[in-house]
Structure 1
Amino acid sequence: MQTLAVVVPAYNESEGLREFQRRLGLVFDGLDLRCSVLYIDDGSRDDTWQVMESLRAADARVATLKLSRNFGKETALTAGLDHADADAVVVIDADLQDQPELIPEFVARWREGFDVVYGTRSNRAGETAVKKLTSAAFYRVMEKMTDLPLPRDTGDFRLMSRRVVDALRGLRERQRFMKGLFTFVGFRQTAIVYDRDARFAGDSKWNYWKLWNFALEGITSFSTFPLRLATYVGFVAALIAFVFGLTVFVKALFYGDPVRGYPSLMVVVLFLGGAQLMALGMIGEYLGRIYMESKQRPLYFVDRINPPSGPDAG
C-alpha cells in the first residue's frame, strides 16, 4: 500500500494542535493510504511539545520531533522533510489556515502523475489589507527579478512525491527559502486553488520586520538582480554627477560663478554617498551569505525524535 506522511512544523502552536489533529485524523480515515504525521517542535516556549506528545500517545500514526532550539520555520521544515519516509509528503502549517480537508484532492492529482501539487490562495481570510498587498507585491517582484517561475500567491502547503523530497534533501544551503527550493527542483507541478481560512487560534509569528527579512532572503537566494541594480544606480549617479559638473564648468567659463556652491556641493556629495552606501549594502548582503555558507555548520540539531508507534503508520 502507498504511504503518505504529513509534515507539520510548529512554534508556540499548542492552542490549535488538538483541533488540527482531530481534523487531520478524519482525513486519514478517509484515505486508502498508510498515513502518518510528523510534528516538528521548533523550540517552542509554550507547551507545544507536551501537546504533541499527548497526541502521539492517543494516535499511533503520530510522530514527534523536537529541535534543540528555535531554528526558524524554513529549517524546521527541512528537518521534517529529512525525517519523513513515504511515497508522498504533504507540508502544512498547524494554524489551520490551510485546510487538511484538501489533502485528498492533492493525493488525487498526485496519482494522476504530478510530482508537486501546491495550493494557490484565491482569498486570504483574517489578514490585513497591508499584509495582502505586500504579499502580492513580493510574489510579483520575485517573478520579475529571478528566472525562477515561482507560483503567485502560493505558500508552503503542498504535496510532493518521494523523488522531489529526495531532491530537496540534496540542497543543504544555510540561507533557506523553501518556496524557491520547491520550485527549483522542477518535476511536474500543478496548482489547486482554494480560499485560505483565518487562524484557528493564537497569533501569527510573522511580523512585518520578519516578513521583510524573509522577502530579502528569497530575493538574494535566487537572484543577483540587486547587485546588477547597484551597478545601474552607480552608473546613473555617475552620469548625473558628470552632467552637473559639465554644467557648472560651462557656466563658470562663460558667465563666471561666485563662490556660492555649498548647497549644490552637499547635494552632489550626499547623492553619491547614498548611492555608494546602497551598493555596498547590497554587496554586503551577498557577502554575508557567502560567509554563512563557508562555515558549513549543520542546519539543525535534534533534541528528541519519537516515531509512530502503531503498525498502520507510514
Structure 2
Amino acid sequence: MKSLQILCPVFREEEVILEFHARLRAAVAALGERYRVSFVYAMDPSPDRTEAILLALAQRDPDVRVLVMSRRFGHQAALIAGIDSCDADALIMLDSDGQHPPELIPQLVEQWENGAQIVQAMRQDGAETGFLKRTTSAMFYRVISRIGSIQLNPGAADYRLLDRAVVRVIRDEVQERNIFLRGIVAWVGYRIAFVEFEPLARMKGASKYRPSVLINFAIQGISSFSKTPLRLCTITGLIVAALSVLAGAAQVVGYVFGHGVGAAGWASLMTFVSFLGGLQLFFMGIFGEYLGQIFDEVKRRPRYLIRTDSATLAKTQDGAELPRAIEVD
C-alpha cells in the first residue's frame, strides 16, 4: 500500500485547527482504502493555544505529527521542514486556514495516479478577493514569468501534490537559504498537471500576511530567479553615460563657436542632478538586495530549527506529560 503525507503550515489557528483537521480527515477518508494517510502540522510558535491543541491531537491520533519551530521562521520554512520530514510516496501541502479546500485532494491524487509528478492547484480569484490584491498578484506573476528563468502561471498557490522523486530533489539538491518554493517547484520540471480551485473564505480570523510580508515575498521571488534588475541597472547606466558624453560634447561645441552657457539654467541642472542621485540610490538598493541574498547563503545557517517533534517527544522538557486537557473529537 502506497502512502500519502499531508503537510499543513500553521500559525495562530487555535480557533479553527480542530475543525480543519476534522474536515481534512473527512476529505481523505475514501483514500484510506488505498493509501496510508498521515498528517504533518509544521508550525511557528504561536502566542495562543495552537501548539497545545496540536500536541494533544498528536497524542490521540497516531497518524498526526507536529513539528514546532524554535521561533517564527515563516510559512516557507514550515513547508521546507515538512518536505525534509517526508518519507511518503506523495506529499500534499495546503494551508490550514480553510481557504485551500481539502475536498480537492482526491482530484490531486487522481492526477498523480495518471502519471503527473507535480499536481499544482491553481487559484482562481473571484469577487471575494480585493481588487488591489488581485491586481498586484497578477502583476507579480506576469513580471516574474517575463523576466525570470521560470514560467510561473498566475494563481499558482502553495497547494500542490509532489511525487517522492520531486520531494527528494527539493530536499537533497536544493539548498538555498531563502527559498521561494513556488519558483523551485516550477524550476525542477518533471511531469506537471494543473487543477483549478476557487479559494474559500477563511474559517475564522484574519490573514497573517501583512503587506510588508507580501512585498518581501515578491522581492524574494524575483531576486531568486532573475538577474534582469541587475542588467537593467547596467543598461540604464550606459544610456545615461552616453547622454552625458553627448551633452558634454554639445557644451564644448557651443563654447568653441561662441555660444557659451551663462549662469542660467541652474534649476534644470539641479533637477537633473537630483534625478541622477535618486537613480543611483535606487540601483544601490537593487544591488543590496542581491548582496543580501549572497550574504545569507554564505553564512550557511539552517533554514529552520525544530524545537518540538511529536514523533519523538514523549514528555516535555520539564518531565511533565503532554497536554491532555483539550478534548479532541
Q: Which range, TM-score by smaller chain?
A: over 0.9
Q: Distance in 1 between matches of 2:2 and 2:235?
A: 53
**Given the alignment, which residue of 231, 241, 244 partners 2:244?**
241
Contact 1:65 1:302 in 2 (8 A): yes
Q: Distance in 1 between matches of 2:127 and 2:165?
A: 33
SS of the equivalent of 1:70 reads: coil
Quote the residue 2:11 is aligned against.
11
Contact 2:124 2:198 in 1 (8 A): yes
Aligned residue identity for 1:258:
G
Tell me, yes or no, if structure 1 residue 281 matches structure 2 residue 313. no
**Given the alignment, which residue of 167, 175, 178 partners 2:178?**
175
Quote the residue 1:229 is aligned against.
232
Tell me, yes or no, if structure 1 residue 2 matches structure 2 residue 2. yes
SS of the equivalent of 1:30 reads: helix
Aligned residue identity for 1:277:
L
Quote the residue 1:27 is aligned against.
27
Tell me, yes or no, if structure 1 residue 214 matches structure 2 residue 222. no
1:33-66: CA deviation from partner (whole Å, max 9, x where unpaired): 1101100111222211112123223433211111
Q: Distance in 2 between matches of 1:257 and 1:298?
A: 61
Quote the residue 1:195 is aligned against.
198
SS of the equivalent of 2:235 reads: helix
The structural deviation recorded for 1:276 is: 1.8
The structural deviation recorded for 1:239 is: 3.1
The structural deviation recorded for 1:153 is: 1.1
Tell me, yes or no, if structure 1 residue 79 matches structure 2 residue 81. yes
1:1-314 equivalences in 2 (<5 Å):
1-31=1-31, 32-124=34-126, 126-170=128-172, 171-252=174-255, 253-307=257-311
The structural deviation recorded for 1:251 is: 4.5
**TM norm structure 2:** 0.89
Q: Distance in 2 between matches of 1:166 and 1:293?
A: 21
Quote the residue 2:319 is aligned against.
none
Q: Distance in 2 between matches of 1:112 and 1:185?
A: 20
SS of the equivalent of 1:117 reads: strand
Contact 1:124 1:198 in 2 (8 A): no
SS of the equivalent of 1:287 reads: helix
SS of the equivalent of 1:131 reads: helix
The structural deviation recorded for 1:221 is: 0.6
Quote the residue 1:312 is aligned against.
none
Aligned residue identity for 1:223:
S
Q: Distance in 2 between matches of 1:241 and 1:304?
A: 61
Contact 1:21 1:55 in 2 (8 A): no
Structure 1: tracts of 5 or more residues without a match: 310-314
Q: Distance in 2 between matches of 1:109 and 1:241?
A: 59
Contact 1:234 1:276 in 2 (8 A): no
SS of the equivalent of 2:198 reads: strand
The structural deviation recorded for 1:124 is: 4.5
Q: Distance in 2 between matches of 1:180 and 1:108?
A: 24
Residues matched between the structures, number: 309
The structural deviation recorded for 1:306 is: 1.3
Range 132-141 or range 37-46, more displaced: 37-46
1:261-304: CA deviation from partner (whole Å, max 9, x where unpaired): 32132123212222222222211111111111111111111111
The structural deviation recorded for 1:183 is: 1.2
The structural deviation recorded for 1:125 is: 6.0
Structure 2: tracts of 5 or more residues without a match: 314-329
Range 51-60 or range 241-250, more displaced: 241-250
SS of the equivalent of 1:147 reads: coil
